């Protein structure tokens, strides 16, 4: 299921398509033999002493397999899935990229302008990055951005199309849309790096992600 804009399809159709991918990956209902990898990042411009300014949790087919925080600057494996791949080259590269992405997002936070009535303390940015692979090919990707817990923007990295979910994020969308370097950075991570990590990890998880039996 490709997320490219095709002739004759409206922006509303594309938005619905992207949200459907997010809902399917969140529910673990990827289509056919597809598998999904999702990274949930929370970045704060400021944090209290002893609390990390960034936290990440990663899952494959909704099953958690890693977590990361800025205090330790380490990616910690979770469960058998994490332990199976934490000595791989892809794991090392994922660890480095998470640290870089967290710092990049934290640099973006101070320039985000929020309505005064919605500003309560330092802003926080939540990013849900998902990619889907089928037959060793990237078949879909999406990034969902929330500000202070409120869903704001959706990015289709296949076509680098920004979609406003919250009208209050229109100005932010215009700013990010004009920043081609930032959009290309998000595109590379979601359609390139993410799908590469998933393909590499699936070689180790081949017998660990079998469909669960259904009741009669």
Could you tell me the domains of the chain? Answer: 35-44+51-115+122-209 (3.30.500.10)
Token pair belonging to 43: 């970045």
Output the pLDDT for position 39: 95
Q: Percentages helix, strand, coil for the chain, rounded to the nearest 5?
A: 40, 30, 30
Output the pLDDT for position 17: 45
Output the pLDDT for position 160: 86
Strand, coil or helix: what is 23? helix
Helix or strand holding residue 173 (H, E): helix 170-177
CA dist 125 to 19, 44, 95, 152, Å? 19, 6, 20, 10
DSSP letter at 33 equals T
Output the pLDDT for position 27: 42
Gap between the Cα atoms of 3 and 65, Å rounded: 26
47's CB contacts (< 8 A; 6+ apart) are 53
Output the pLDDT for position 201: 92
Gap between the Cα atoms of 204 and 183, Å rounded: 31
130's CB contacts (< 8 A; 6+ apart) are 21, 22, 25, 36, 37, 38, 39, 140, 141, 142, 143, 190, 194
What string of pLDDT tens digits covers the 216 residues of the chain?
333 333 344 444 444 444 544 544 444 444 457 889 999 999 998 888 888 999 999 999 899 999 999 888 889 999 999 999 999 999 999 999 999 999 988 888 866 765 555 556 678 899 999 998 876 777 788 899 998 888 999 998 888 889 999 888 888 888 888 888 888 999 999 889 999 999 999 988 877 776 555 554
């Amino acid at each position: 299921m490709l997320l490219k804009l095709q002739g004759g399809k409206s922006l509303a159709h594309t938005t619905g398509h992207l949200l459907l991918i997010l809902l399917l990956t969140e529910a673990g209902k990827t289509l056919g033999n597809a598998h999904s990898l999702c990274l949930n990042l929370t970045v704060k411009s400021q944090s209290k002493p002893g609390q990390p300014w960034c936290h990440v949790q990663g899952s494959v087919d909704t099953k958690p397999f890693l977590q990361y925080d800025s205090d330790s600057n380490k990616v910690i494996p979770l469960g058998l899935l994490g332990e199976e791949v934490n000595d791989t080259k892809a794991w090392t590269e994922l660890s480095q990229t998470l640290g870089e992405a967290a710092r990049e997002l934290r640099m973006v936070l101070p320039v985000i302008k929020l309505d005064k009535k919605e500003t309560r303390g330092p802003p926080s940015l939540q990013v849900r990055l998902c990619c889907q692979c089928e037959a060793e090919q990237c078949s879909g990707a999406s990034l969902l951005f929330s500000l202070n817990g409120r869903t704001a923007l959706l990015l289709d990295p296949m076509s680098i199309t920004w979609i406003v979910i919250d009208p209050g994020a229109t100005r932010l969308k215009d700013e990010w849309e004009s920043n081609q370097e930032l959009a290309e950075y998000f595109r590379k991570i979601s359609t390139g790096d993410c799908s590469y990590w998933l393909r590499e990890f699936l070689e180790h998880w081949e017998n660990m992600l079998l469909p669960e039996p259904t009741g009669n």
